[in-house]
Structure 1
Amino acid sequence: MASKNSARSPAKRLRQDSSSPADNFNLPAPTFDLDTWANNYDGALLPLRLCHVAIHCPSLSRQAIGLAISHAKRSKNVRQYTHLCDLAGQLHFKDLGTPDNDWVSRQEEGNKRELSRLEGELRGYKNNLIRESIRMGQEDLATHHLITGGPPPDPNTVQQLGGSGYSVAYQAFSKTRDYCTTPSHMASMMLRLIYTALLQAVSSMQAGGSSGGNFANTISNCSRLRSSGVKAEEQVKLEPIAAAMSGISLLGQGNYPDAATTFLSTPIAYNTLGAVHGTDFGRAVASANDIAIYGGLCALATMSRQDLIDRVLGGSFRAFLELEPHMRKAISLYTTAKYKTCIDLLRHYYSDWSLDVFLGAASSSVGSSSHVDVLFAKIREKSITAYLSSFSEVSLASLASTFPPVSSSPTAMEEEALGLIESGLLDARLDVVNGTIIAPRKELRSGTHGDAARTAEDMERMLLLRLHKVNVVMAGLEVPKPKNGNWAEGGFYQ
């Protein structure tokens, strides 16, 4: 098993997740069993998930990198396999860090032969001008690039340097657009573009690059998927995927309020969809349990107490929360003002969620913090402000006992309270001498006088209106009501 320093240093050298905080490279063991957890996923994203675990959790590092290498060797992605072997070597697992060169050579040759065959078939289809055959040939070629990770980059070719990896597969899938003849063909292409864009995003994040463009492409393709024009029975299967993948992309961009709204709109049918146009997004990208966690955390961090009660616990999203009872319990604790218990429960699952490839990724909006860190900070801020709203004066010692400071500094609670006041989240002032937080005093006397004056004005206006009505009747100017209660055309009584 790698030591603390040995697990951190290769991660820093490789910059697999270069924007994550240093603490996230030494996470304690999670509550789940790694083998059971890995069995929930498959496809090209699984090795990337395991790679994220290996870098950030020293206690599971060897097991995770071993599973990732084993899975990569069963695929055709030679570049991913050699990369994982290099990572294992830098994590000081020498027995796992030696690649099988015979397998690498055989697989590379096989990939080249298959690529040459598919390109030849596509050229023949284009010469014959058979549109459907061209679409299928282009799709087969793009799928080959997807499962092999794209052609190896050629250092001597500038054009290919920018188009290596999954971006080649994305471009190849995009070319099928011109040959799609039915809405179902368009929907199939959009699903493949969504999946490939998410793979690009995760690969880019683990390489220390920017993933904003890939998430933006995912959101755009999800929007097109909703308006693809397919039949109603097929659209029912596409809508859950579009909502879930849009939510993941908004989460990746750090847009937590919109992500929460999108996750809450995801139909529970996502849990039982299975493969749609050849891809099971519940296993290839995120399970229904993951959607429950993503949506629950985003909602808890951004929504008001009443919205949590009405839209989360009382809405259709509750069906997702039933899959993750601890997430449902945390939201229930917050809505009943049990803030300390809520935060303690969330902290218990901090490692689990930080080891998720989407939640544990860096948030571009807040320095080097991961999405989990940002969401936890927002939930803590909301809890503190809601707690203080019930008091006119609270001591820092009492506040610290309810919300233990994150750091061990003796002035940590004072600095946190001052930060909330300066940011405008907390309407109060800090008495440093006495160690108290004082809410602004409300002038109850002046408020009562104001309410009484407004009530008197309303009564005076009502009495004047009644007096005007009496004068109109006494002057004989009142218009009598028709006996039959009907009006003729032109405004005259019949």
Structure 2
Amino acid sequence: MATAMETSSTGPAAPAATTSAALSSLDRLLPSTPLRLHPRLDLEIYASNYTGHARIIRLLFIAATCPDLRVDALRSAMHDLKKTLNTKLYEAVGEDLRVAAAAANVSRPEDRVDSAWVDATFRKAQNLFERLDTDLRGHRNTFIKESIRMGNTDLGDHFYDRGELSEAVKCYTRARDYCTTTKHMMQVCLSVIQVNMEASLWTTVSAYLAKGEAAAADPSCDALSQAKLAACRGLYLLHERQFNQAGKVFVDVSFDICGNFSEVIAAQDIAIFGALCGLATFDRAEIKSKLIDLPNFRQFLELVPEVRELIQAFYHSRYATVLTIMSSLHDDLAADIHLNPHVSALFALIRSRAMQQYASPFLSVDMSKMATAFKTTIADLEQELVALIIAGQISARIDSHNKVLYARQVDTRSATFHRALQFGEEYDYASKALLMRVALLKCGLGVNSKSKSGAGDVDREMHPRR
């Protein structure tokens, strides 16, 4: 049996003074190229939708991508970090805030790092770790599964609060070996998924989603845990750019999750992610049935009126309104840590589907009117249409001189004759093959297969005509 010392390779590390060390676990969450977004969102209202690490990470992401909100986001993050035990990240954010506030000439006395709090919190974390580790050793000696599970879980929560994600995952994983109920298994799976999403370890997320879904198949699993797991599955599919599947998962998430999973995702996020993925990949019938008529998803959309209006405008072919709403929402949506890498691709897909929907009812389309509807120039529109035609998304041809888009008409009569000839050729081939087989059998030219006793070989003999 493993010893109690295996619960952790190290205790809480000493306070670090360098930003790079403290932010190492967040590097993969930040955009690879610097962004300069200018969202219209109210930072305080936006942050109030989240709690715990989710709130802090989103504030830091906004600080990294939105220059106008950088100082306010860092101040809010620094304030929230004082509710945790993560002294390293607190010091790093404090240094970033000092530099940003000085550059903007908006420095305040309270922006300075509280060294007394750092020292006190470090000692508190060290004492708590020693107590939890000692308790876990005692639980291991008693061989009581439930106590060992709770001890590993408490130690994992402690490491997570410290920002030591790899150690937290180890403890949660060990707790899984001592789960005796479906509820406990779901709690462990969700904890591991949450930590690994924060660490951007999506392969592990996928593995534990499968384990969680297997546990959720048990009739004793509660609806809220199933909804949380579905939301995590949607985030994983979104990260993998499987937009169609992500949209279907998000629209089916139960509204019970509203306000009960703010440490990972907000109800508004489910509405936004489901709507954008749906508009980008669903056909018209699915948009009607899943995004507009589905009672459960309508409750989510009530939280985000602009997205609800976007769906209605797209379905009713009000393309100018669609493009206006998308333009106004772009920077707000790009400020979301999960949606940022995909928002441009989703908007491009929605625009392409809008063009397909615009052109589908007509035999010919005046490109000047279409350019006006899509708020673009005729030259740019022509390039977009060429790309859609090459990709096979629009069956049409362009009269570049007169600037007219002509739908390719299928000659039904020729197509019918072609199919008839094809069926005739297939029938002729099958008939000749059948006649040849009959002739071979009539002549006694058959192939018999006999299995030799005691062996798996097949003995084939040609029997000549007698």
Select which of 303, 320, 326 maps to 2:306: 326
1:437 counterpart residue number: 405
Select which of 271, 279, 288 maps to 1:300: 279
Task: Tell whether 2:71 aligns with 1:38.
Answer: no
TM-aligned CA deviation for residue 85 of structure 1: 2.8
TM-aligned CA deviation for residue 401 of structure 1: 1.4
Q: Distance in 2 between matches of 1:372 and 1:294?
A: 10
Alpha carbons of structure 1 residues 222 and 247: separation in structure 2 relative to 1, 3 Å: farther
Matches within 5 A, 1:333-372: 333-360=313-340, 370-372=341-343
1:111 counterpart letter in structure 2: A
* Corresponding residue SS for 2:365: strand
Alpha carbons of structure 1 residues 248 and 177: separation in structure 2 relative to 1, 3 Å: same
Alpha carbons of structure 1 residues 90 and 301: separation in structure 2 relative to 1, 3 Å: farther
Per-residue Cα deviation, 1:319-376 (whole angstroms, up to 9, x for no partner): 222222222221122121222212222222222211122112xxxxxxxxx2111111
Alpha carbons of structure 1 residues 217 and 168: separation in structure 2 relative to 1, 3 Å: farther
Task: Tell whether 2:288 aligns with 1:309.
Answer: yes
1:417 counterpart residue number: 385
Does the Cα contact within 8 Å between 2:30 and 2:61 map onto a contact in 1?
no
Select which of 31, 36, 59 maps to 1:26: 36
Task: Tell whether 2:246 aligns with 1:250.
Answer: no
* Corresponding residue SS for 1:284: coil
* Corresponding residue SS for 1:26: coil
Select which of 185, 204, 220 maps to 2:210: 220
* Corresponding residue SS for 1:349: helix
Q: Distance in 2 between matches of 1:299 and 1:292?
A: 10
Structure 1 stretches (4+) deviating beyond 6 angstroms? none
Does the Cα contact within 8 Å between 1:197 and 1:217 map onto a contact in 2?
no
1:27 counterpart letter in structure 2: L
Task: Tell whether 2:375 aligns with 1:404.
Answer: yes
Pairwise CA RMSD of aligned residues?
Answer: 2.8
Per-residue Cα deviation, 1:207-250 (whole angstroms, up to 9, x for no partner): xxxx43254245324413413x362xx52222221222211221
2:434 counterpart residue number: none
Runs (5+) with no aligned partner, structure 2: 1-22, 421-466
Select which of 104, 120, 125 maps to 2:139: 125
1:364 counterpart residue number: none
1:47 counterpart residue number: 56
Greater displacement, 240-249 / 394-403: 394-403
**TM-score (norm: length of structure 2):** 0.76
Select which of 241, 254, 268 maps to 1:267: 254
Percent identity of equivalent pairs? 29
1:63 counterpart residue number: 72
1:193 counterpart residue number: 192
Q: Distance in 2 between matches of 1:428 and 1:218?
A: 46
Per-residue Cα deviation, 1:295-337 (whole angstroms, up to 9, x for no partner): 1111111101111112221123222222222222211221212
TM-aligned CA deviation for residue 145 of structure 1: 0.5
Runs (5+) with no aligned partner, structure 1: 1-10, 151-165, 202-210, 275-279, 361-369, 454-494
2:242 counterpart letter in structure 1: N
Q: Distance in 1 between matches of 2:280 and 2:125?
A: 46
Task: Tell whether 2:264 aligns with 1:285.
Answer: yes
1:174 counterpart residue number: 173
Does the Cα contact within 8 Å between 1:215 and 1:250 map onto a contact in 2?
no
Alpha carbons of structure 1 residues 443 and 420: separation in structure 2 relative to 1, 3 Å: same
Per-residue Cα deviation, 1:427-449 (whole angstroms, up to 9, x for no partner): 222344444433224447768x9
Per-residue Cα deviation, 1:50-82 (whole angstroms, up to 9, x for no partner): 111112222211111110111112211122213
Alpha carbons of structure 1 residues 357 and 19: separation in structure 2 relative to 1, 3 Å: closer
Q: Distance in 1 between matches of 2:342 and 2:119?
A: 40
* Corresponding residue SS for 1:250: helix
Q: Distance in 1 between matches of 2:407 and 2:228?
A: 46
Q: Distance in 1 between matches of 2:94 and 2:219?
A: 44
Per-residue Cα deviation, 1:101-153 (whole angstroms, up to 9, x for no partner): 33323322322222122212212222232322222211111110011112xxx
Alpha carbons of structure 1 residues 183 and 42: separation in structure 2 relative to 1, 3 Å: same
* Corresponding residue SS for 1:419: helix
1:379 counterpart residue number: 350
1:351 counterpart letter in structure 2: D
Q: Distance in 1 between matches of 2:322 and 2:290?
A: 19
Q: Distance in 2 between matches of 1:350 and 1:34?
A: 16
Q: Distance in 1 between matches of 2:202 and 2:149?
A: 29
